[in-house]
Structure 1
Amino acid sequence: MTPKIPRRLAALALLGAGLALCSPFALASDPWPNKAIRIVVPYAPGGIGDIVARMIQPVLQDELKQPVIIENKPGAAGSLGTEFVAKAPPDGYTLLLALAAPQTLNQYIFKVGYDGVKDFAPITLINTNPLVLMVNPSLPVTNLKEFIAYAKANPGKLNFGGAGGLTQFAGEILKHQVGINMVHVPYRGGAPAVAAAAAGDVHLSFANYSDALTWMQSGKLRAIALTTARRYPQTPDIPTIAESGVPGFDVTGWSGLFAPAGTPPAIVERIANVLRPALQTPAMRKRMETVGAEPGGNSPAEFAKQVANDARKWSEFVKTSGIQVTQ
């Protein structure tokens, strides 16, 4: 015969069970993820950030067993979408496909509502990519030396299209280092800026390699030089700006995945552990190379160090150069 439990003890037991279910400890033990995850891209569709986000989307869906939604939030040179994620709940359900400039540069040259280092939890570097200095074929230049000479002979008459960030800042740095005067014309994305150069609406553009590739192949834009410290293996005939007469010039684009600061480390590590091996597969490397990117895949700690170093570099350059840019 089962002994009877006094009513008072039974009531206390039920109350305790209810409190346990409502406690933050019980909620914290809920499995992650248990609903759709969104990746915010702070630029328009079609650019390198959007392309790379859609490359990693199926990897995350397959491994995490939840839908992954890509949401483009362009505006303010990438700062609009970046700020949105900085202020999102740190629960692992809103991530940022970040580009280098909104994360490490914009806060030093524009007024933004976030700190690119302190307000985010870095997950992993997705890729690196060069920018290409592209000119409309109507411009009578075929190399950087000729371009600089032409720009000096025509001060203020050249304009270049960009989408803010590095596509603008690369031009500003070149202006500062070689003493030329060009006017920046803003566009909402890298792809529209390059298309404008091909149409002759602007004279040139500093384009992400993925945005430049089709135009280079068609001959509708002329590639003058790369912004990175070394040549890119896919197009070894295109020299760098550094080797073409501007020593030390190095503006390297990258994409990386971030969560809002305060996201549980276990979630950050789990996402990183899904992506890192996937980025190193031959299939992913081949896909990256088709858009002029080289896959990343470092640890959250390594990526955090890289982001902090980049932010420090740009902060010091802005201070020492006195450079000013407009959105």
Structure 2
Amino acid sequence: MRSAFCKLQALLGAALLTTAVYGQTFPDRPLHLVVPFSPGGSTDLVGRLVAAQVAQRLGQPVVVENRAGAGGMIASEYVAKSEADGYTLLMVTTSHTANPSIYKKLPYDTRKDFTSISLVGDMPGLMVAHPSVPANTLGEFVAYAKTHRVSYGSAGSGTFPHLSMELFRHAAGLDMVHIPYRGAAPALADLVGGVYQIKADAYITAKGFVDAGRLKLYAVTSAQRMPQLPDVPTVAESGYPGFESTYWIGIVSPAGVPPAVRTRLEQAFMQAVQDPMVSAKLQEGGTRPIGGSAADLDALMNHEFAQWPGIIKDADIAEK
């Protein structure tokens, strides 16, 4: 019995040593950061900025790979089924915690198939409309939408623009048609092209079109006004008290990644976001840099896992 116990101790010790050594040598080849939306969208832009800084800290390239579609589920399934060695990572957003409440069956287990790495940051949305809409304020838009057929676009079902607009539609008592796209960039392009009327979009991608007069800006979706847009009212100030909707971005890996590797990745992402240059660029683009830990991301997601079922039921956007 003593001999068997000693062998077990030896095996456990060897496993711990192997994990520790692996963590010290990781990474020895390029990493892949999978973005669940198309190139050019706000999530993609943030991902590429942070990935470049993480690459410097890890001493290996971090290749950004776009796998758009199905509200982030295509990318999530790919990463969930990837090897848990720390070399394949996933950017997750609000849709990651909302999808389990929207879809009857996912091709992965959102809670069990991923390990949190870091909370990158968050951003409010901008309520932007095509200039052809004869309304200059959010209140005027609501009045117009109650007497005209209006459509809104999103980066896909279950994404932040979808959920944010559904929350607003519900609050304003509007009947609008949802047009889902395979990512934020094509959705924004069609809004600018006048295919539909309104969208909740990111500051980093919509601001240029607003400045050029190609989009109208009605309000921001955060609880407080954005420092970058001090004269733009919030949705709450525009007649819908208590309205708040923000878009967060985090990093996860497949479940089972070695603890030492997870810690190395966590530190690299936290330090990358907290880098003064990266932090300044994120703020310029309308993102609030957080650079939070794995525990911070876990806490946020657990809160939303509990929050979304009721909201999605009230908005009637769950898959039938």
TM-score normalized by the length of structure 1: 0.87
Where 2:237 maps in the other structure, the secondary structure is: helix
State the AA in 2 paired with 1:236.
P
* Corresponding residue SS for 2:126: strand
What CA distance in whole angstroms lies between the structure 1 residues aligned with 2:254 and 2:85? 8
Higher gyration radius (CA):
1
1:147, CA displacement in angstroms?
1.2
C-alpha separation in 1, matches of 2:302 and 2:123: 19
Q: % of aligned pairs identical?
A: 36
Instruction: Tell whether the 8 Å contact from 1:144 to 1:244 is kept in structure 2 after alignment.
Output: yes
Q: 1:115 to 1:229 in 2, by over 3 A?
A: farther
How has the CA–CA distance of structure 1 residues 119 and 316 changed in structure 2, closer, same or farther, with 3 Å as cutoff?
farther
Which of residues 158, 161, 178 is equivalent to 2:150?
A: 158
- Counting only pairs closer than 5 Å after superposition, residues 27-66 of structure 1 correspond to structure 2 as 28=19, 29-30=21-22, 31-66=25-60
What residue in structure 2 maps to residue 17 of structure 1?
Answer: none
Cα shift readout 1:200-221 (whole Å, capped 9, x = no counterpart):
1111111122221111111100
- Asked whether the 8 Å contact 1:107–1:114 carries over to 2, the reply is no
* Alignment deviations for residues 146-191 of structure 1 (CA, whole Å, 9 cap, x no partner): 111111122xx10111112111121111122221101011221212
Residue in structure 2 matched with residue 149 of structure 1 by the alignment: 143
Q: Which consecutive residues of structure 2, in runs of 5 or more, have no partner in the other structure?
A: 1-10
Q: Which amino acid aligns with 2:206?
A: A
Q: Within the alignment, does 1:107 sit opposite 2:92 as a pair? A: no
* Aligned AA (1:106): N
Counterpart of 1:259? 253
Tell me the residue number matched to 1:125: 119
Query: Following TM superposition, by how much is the alpha carbon of 1:42 offset from its aligned partner in structure 2, in angstroms?
Result: 0.7
Structural mapping, 1:135-214, within 5 Å: 135-154=129-148, 157-164=149-156, 165-214=159-208
Superposed CA RMSD in Å reads 2.0
CA contact (8 A) 1:47 1:191 kept: yes
Aligned position for 2:309: 315
What do the CA deviations read for 1:259-304 (whole angstroms, capped 9, x no partner)? 1121122212211212223322321122112221111111211221
| Aligned length in residues | 302
Q: Gaps spanning 5+ residues in structure 1: where?
A: 1-19
Residue 50 of structure 2 aligns with an amino acid whose one-letter code is: I
The CA distance in 1 between the partners of 2:318 and 2:204, in whole Å, is 25
Matched residue type, 1:227 = T
What amino acid maps onto 2:83 in structure 1?
A: P
Give the residue type in structure 1 aligned to 2:178.
H
For 1:269, the aligned partner's letter is T
Moved more, 105-114 or 161-170: 105-114
Amino acid across the alignment from 1:119: D
Cα distance in 2 for residues equivalent to 1:76 and 1:312: 22
For the Cα contact (< 8 Å) 2:54–2:272, is it kept in 1?
A: no
Give the Cα separation in 2 of the matches to 1:177 and 1:109. 19
In the alignment, which residue of structure 2 is the partner of 1:70?
64
Instruction: Report the residue type matching 1:163 in the other structure.
Output: A
Specify the alignment match of 1:86 in structure 2. Answer: 80
Distance 1:125 1:25 in 2: 27
Amino acid at match of 1:70: V
Decide whether the 8 Å contact of 1:108 with 1:315 is kept in 2: yes
Alignment partner of 2:151: what SS?
A: strand
| Length-normalised TM-score, structure 2 | 0.89
